[in-house]
C-alpha cells in the first residue's frame, strides 16, 4: 500500500529486506524496476546478542565491541554473506548499500568487512538524529539532509565508508504518552498530525536550505497497520508528502544517491589556467556523474564547456539565506572536462 501512496506524489522508497521477509523476490524486482531502492537489513542478533540462560530464563545478552572484534568477525562476515546470497537468489538484485543496526556495529574491523563486500553506505541505525538522547525526549526519527558523511574512528582516521543519515523513518519513540502505559514515558509526545507537520517542516528544509534529496525508509506495512501510532500513520505520510511536493523537494532511492555521492566526492581538479580573458578549470571523475552542481564565485559572468563552446545555464540558489549562482554539468568516467569561466573585468 505505501508504495502506491508515495508513487501518487512522485516520490521513491528505499526498502530494506530482512533475512526472513513476507515480501517475495518478484515483488522486490517489480518495485526496483519502478525506481525504488531495494537492499538488505542485516540481522546479526544471533552473533552480537546471543541467547543465554539467566536464572532459568532465556534472554539475549549483548556482547561488547571488543569481544566481537576479537572473537566474532568470521561469524559476522558469514552472516552477512549468507544474507547477501539468499537476497540475490530471491531477487536477482545486487546492492552497494546496507541497513544495519548500531547495536550490532563494532567499528573499524566490521567496516572493513562491509567495504570488502562492496557496501559503502550503511544506513541508518549506525547513528541517530543528534537531538535524540537516552531517557530524554526523542526524535523525531528523521533529519532534513541526506548528505552522506565519511566515517571517522578515533585512532584509525577516515574510513572508506559513508554514513547515510536516517530520513523519513518511523520509530517506536514516536507517539503520545499514556499514563497507564509505563513503556510510553520515552515517547516524544507527537500525535499523527503533529508528526505529519514535522515531516513537512523537514521536507521544506531539505528543499530550500540543504537543496538535497530525501531518502524515504518507511516500511510498506506501516500505512496499513492500526493508525494509533504516528510512525504507522498513512495520514502522517500523506501530510509529509504534501509538504514535500509543495516545497519542491526531490526524492531518490538510496542506491543511486549512494553512487552519486561517492562519485561527487571523488571529483578531481586536474588543472587551472588563465589566458587573460577567462579562467579554465579542468575536472575529472572516476565514475559517471550526472547533475554535478558547482557554486560560482561572484565575479563569474558566464560559463562554457571549453571543448565545445556550449554555454551552461547559470541558476540562482539560496544557501543559508544568501543568494548564490551555480551551474550543473555531467562528467563521463575518467574523461576530463574543462570549463571556461568568464569573469567581470576580463
User: pLDDT tens, 143-164?
Assistant: 556 678 888 888 889 888 887 7
Average pLDDT over residues 55-70: 90
Average pLDDT over residues 87-99: 90
- Reported CATH class of domain 267-343: mainly beta
Query: How high is the pLDDT of residue 133?
Result: 45
**Cα dist from 131 to 64, 83, 139, whole Å:** 25, 33, 7
Question: How many CA atoms lie less than 13 Å away from 84 in the CB half-sphere?
Answer: 18
Three-class SS string for the chain?
CHHHHHHHCCCCEEEEECCCCCCCHHHHHHHHHCCCEEEEECCCHHHHCCEEEECCEEEECCCCHHHHHHHCHHHHHHHHHHHHHHHHHHHCCCCCEEEEEHHHCCCHHHHHHHHHCCCCEEEEECCCCCCCCCCCCCCCCCCCCCCCEEEEECCCEEEEEEEECCCCCCCCCCCCCCCCCHHHHHCCCCCHHHHHHHHHHHHHHHHHHHCCEECECCCCCHHHCCCCCHHHCHHHHHHHHHHHHHHCCEECCHHHHHHHHHHHHCCEEEEEEECCCEEEEEEECCCCEEEEEEECCCCEEEEEECCCCCECCCEEEEECCEEEEEEEEEECCCCCEEEEEEECCC
Domain ranges, ordered by start, for the chain: 2-260, 267-343
pTM: 0.80
Which tops the pLDDT comparison, 113 or 3?
A: 113
Which tops the pLDDT comparison, 78 or 1?
A: 78
- Whether the per-residue pLDDT at 188 is higher than 70: the answer is no
CATH level 3 topology of 2-260 = TIM Barrel (3.20.20)
Mean pLDDT of the chain: 82
Backbone angles phi, psi at 166, to 5 degrees: -75, 135
- Whether the per-residue pLDDT at 122 is higher than 70: the answer is yes
- Whether the per-residue pLDDT at 229 is higher than 50: the answer is yes
Backbone angles phi, psi at 31, to 5 degrees: -60, -40
User: pLDDT tens, 296-305?
Assistant: 988 899 999 9
Cβ contacts of 32 within 8 Å, gap of 6 or more: 38, 91, 93
- Whether the per-residue pLDDT at 218 is higher than 90: the answer is no
User: pLDDT tens, 104-113?
Assistant: 788 899 989 9
Average pLDDT over residues 84-113: 87
| Inter-residue contact 187 to 138 (CB < 8 Å) | yes
Amino acid at each position: 500500500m505505501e508504495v502506491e501512496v508515495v508513487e501518487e506524489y512522485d516520490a521513491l522508497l528505499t526498502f530494506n529486506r530482512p533475512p526472513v521477509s513476507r515480501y517475495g523476490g518478484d515483488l522486490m524486482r517489480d518495485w526496483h524496476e519502478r525506481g525504488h531502492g531495494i537492499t538488505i537489513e542485516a540481522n546479526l542478533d544471533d552473533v552480537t546478542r546471543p541467547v543465554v540462560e539467566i536464572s532459568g530464563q532465556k534472554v539475549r545478552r549483548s556482547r561488547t565491541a571488543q569481544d566481537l572484534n576479537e572473537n566474532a568477525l568470521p561469524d559476522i562476515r558469514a552472516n552477512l554473506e549468507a544474507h547477501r546470497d539468499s537476497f540475490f537468489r530471491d531477487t536477482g538484485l545486487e546492492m552497494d548499500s546496507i541497513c544495519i543496526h548500531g547495536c550490532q556495529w563494532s567499528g573499524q574491523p566490521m567496516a572493513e568487512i562491509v567495504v570488502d563486500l562492496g557496501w559503502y553506505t550503511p544506513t541508518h541505525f549506525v547513528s541517530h538524529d543528534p537531538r535524540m538522547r537516552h531517557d530524554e525526549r526523542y526524535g523525531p526519527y528523521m533529519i532534513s539532509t541526506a548528505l552522506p558523511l565519511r566515517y571517522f574512528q578515533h585512532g584509525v582516521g577516515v574510513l572508506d565508508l559513508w554514513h547515510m543519515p536516517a530520513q523519513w523513518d518511523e520509530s517506536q519513540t514516536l507517539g503520545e504518552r499514556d499514563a497507564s502505559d509505563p513503556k510510553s514515558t520515552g515517547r516524544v509526545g507527537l500525535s499523527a498530525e503533529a508528526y505529519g507537520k514535522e515531516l513537512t517542516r523537514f521536507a521544506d528544509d531539505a528543499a530550500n536550505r540543504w537543496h538535497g534529496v530525501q531518502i524515504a525508509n518507511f516500511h510498506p506495512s506501516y500505512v496499513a497497520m492500526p493508525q494509533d501510532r504516528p510512525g504507522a500513520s498513512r495520514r502522517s505520510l500523506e501530510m509529509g508528502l504534501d509538504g514535500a511536493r509543495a516545497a519542491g523537494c526531490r526524492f531518490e532511492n538510496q542506491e543511486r544517491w549512494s553512487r552519486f555521492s561517492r562519485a561527487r566526492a571523488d571529483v578531481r581538479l586536474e588543472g587551472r589556467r588563465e589566458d587573460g580573458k577567462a579562467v579554465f578549470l579542468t575536472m575529472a571523475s572516476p565514475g559517471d556523474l550526472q547533475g554535478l552542481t558547482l557554486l560560482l564565485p561572484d565575479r563569474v559572468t558566464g560559463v562554457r564547456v571549453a571543448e565545445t563552446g556550449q554555454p551552461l545555464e547559470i541558476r540562482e540558489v539560496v544557501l543559508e539565506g544568501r543568494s548564490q549562482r551555480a551551474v550543473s554539468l555531467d562528467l563521463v568516467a575518467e574523461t576530463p572536462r574543462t570549463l571556461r569561466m568568464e569573469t567581470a573585468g576580463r
